[in-house]
Structure 1
Amino acid sequence: MAKWIGVLGILVGAIGVFFGFYYLADDPARSLEIVTITTVGIVGVVGLCSSCLSL
């Protein structure tokens, strides 16, 4: 279970970076918000859940 949560974190981070680059030319501020929320916020929460489940 923890393995799949870790994989989910990687996928969320990758999707966030993709959309960050997608919006980079049109709206750099939104691009930074998307990348920050997905790579730091969501991936951090998913990583915390993963480490709690592996105990």
Structure 2
Amino acid sequence: MPKNEQDPAGSTQQFRAFQSQGDSAPSGPNTGLIIGGAVVLLVVIVVVALLVV
């Protein structure tokens, strides 16, 4: 029997452990994108207000 024979169950367990570590990342919306959109909207409102006055 060769010494470097891999156990399929062991590699599956290692893969599942690796995969479960990736689940802890936040999956919510990007805060920077929301703040950037709010700033752009504010600039557009100010420009329109200056053009109307």
TM-score scaled by length of structure 1? 0.43
Return the index of the structure with the highest Cα Rg: 2
Structure with greater contact order relative to length (CA < 8 Å, sep ≥ 6) = 1
TM-score scaled by length of structure 2? 0.45
